[in-house]
Amino acid sequence: MDAITTKELVVAPVTANDFKGLVDPDWCKGCGDFGVLNSLRKACMELGLRPNEILIVSGIGCSSNLPGYFNAFGMHTLHGRALPVATGAKLANHEMTVIVTGGDGDGYGIGGNHFTHTVRRNVDLTYIVMDNEIYGLTTGQVSPTSCQEMKTKSTPFGSVELPFNPITSAIMNGATFVARGFSGDPKHLAGLMTQAIEHNGFALINVFSPCVTFNHDNDFPFFKPRIRRLEDEDHDTSDWKTACEKAMLWGDTIYTGLFLQKKDLPSLGQLESVLDKGGPLSRRPLGLSQEQAQNIISRMM
Ligand code: SF4
């Protein structure tokens, strides 16, 4: 067989398999997160991205193991802290596609504060939340998106709390791209992901990604007959009030799709004049001597 030249390697089209990590997922058989992982690989392929152009940042939880299963740069950070780490990475290298993945407990519970502020800052990130309405990794405790009356290990008589609605919360905090997907509808989900990655600014996709082991209330049979796509109706993605009304429906109809998009607002990076010229910060000279840099590092250690 002839050797492959560097030129051939550069122009070879990417396939979804190119984004397969070295490690196979250890998720439970049937976990919704498989559909999210496959959709993300497909979306990256369709956008013609290459593994070295992508950084995936996650927090802690079953779904936060995703960077290990994806061939790209990856960071598995602290519980709830993926968004600030991703913000720093994006500002350090604004040419990189930065995707953040995690779960509802990680992102809306432990990391709820970061969620609010990353939304309002309009950082150019794609945030994919695998929302299974429970803490799966810690074996089934109530989470911020668990339904009222749901019985879990930590709420044996049923949860008395109202669930957090990430869609209305993101909209009211000024998000510029807000969508909801379902891991049982991977083609639609991959389409939302391509739009979110292409969007200039913060893009949230909250994905119903059932935990088949610990949440027997909101499983695939619960969602399948209820899910309706906004794209199949005449939904106006510039109308935030209707978007909120549709996002609050939780009964025989539960909507997925793109609720809201604002296309013409600058992202945080575009407002930072220091990023205007000279390329990514990470490729610029440090501006400190070796000795000064070493002094700073020593002081912080
Ligand atoms: Fe998925 Fe639930 Fe298993 Fe975690 S515990 S891998 S969320 S099915």
The finding on whether 138 has its CB within 6 A of some atom of ligand 1 is no
Helix (H) or strand (E) holding 170: helix 166-172
Nearest to 70 by CA among 53, 92, 89: 53
Alpha carbons 175 and 260: distance in angstroms, whole number: 8
Whether residue 41 is predicted with pLDDT greater than 70 in this model: the reply is yes
Task: For residues 167 and 246, give the distance between their C-alpha atoms in angstroms, rounded to a whole number.
Answer: 10
Structure tokens belonging to residue 291:
């000795």
Tokens of 97: 């596609």
Tokens of 19: 């984004």
pLDDT one-digit tens code per residue, 166-188: 999 999 999 999 999 999 999 99
Give a three-class secondary structure readout of 24-68. CCCCCCCCCHHHHHHHHHHHHHHCCCCHHHEEEEECCCCHHHHHH
Mutation choice for ligand 1 from 24, 29, 33, CB with most ligand atoms inside 8 A: 33
Q: Whose CA is nearest to atom 2 of ligand 1?
A: 211
User: Residue 11: what pLDDT?
Assistant: 64
Q: What percent of the chain has pLDDT over 70?
A: 96
Q: Which atom of ligand 1 is nearest to the CA of 33?
A: 1
Looking at residue 13, its pLDDT comes to 83
Reduced DSSP (H G I as helix, E B as strand, rest coil) percent helix, strand, coil of the chain, to 5: 40, 15, 45
Whether ligand 1 lies within 6 angstroms of the CB of 45 is answered as no
Q: Is 172 in the pocket of ligand 1 (CB under 6 A)?
A: no
Q: What is the pLDDT of residue 3?
A: 59
Helix (H) or strand (E) holding 130: strand 126-131
Residue 8 class from Cβ within 10 Å (0-12 exposed, 13-18 middle, 19+ buried)?
exposed
Q: What is the pLDDT of residues 239-273, one digit of tens each?
A: 999 999 999 999 999 999 999 999 999 999 999 99
Does the predicted TM-score (pTM) go above 0.85? yes
- Check if the beta carbon of residue 133 is closer than 8 Å to that of residue 105: no
Nearest to 209 by CA among 222, 197, 196: 222
Determine the distance separating the centroid of ligand 1 and the alpha carbon of 167, expressed in angstroms: 23
Mean pLDDT (the chain) is 95
User: Quick one: pLDDT band at residue 287, thresholds 50, 70, 90?
Assistant: confident
Q: Does ligand 1 come within 6 angstroms of the Cβ of 69?
A: no
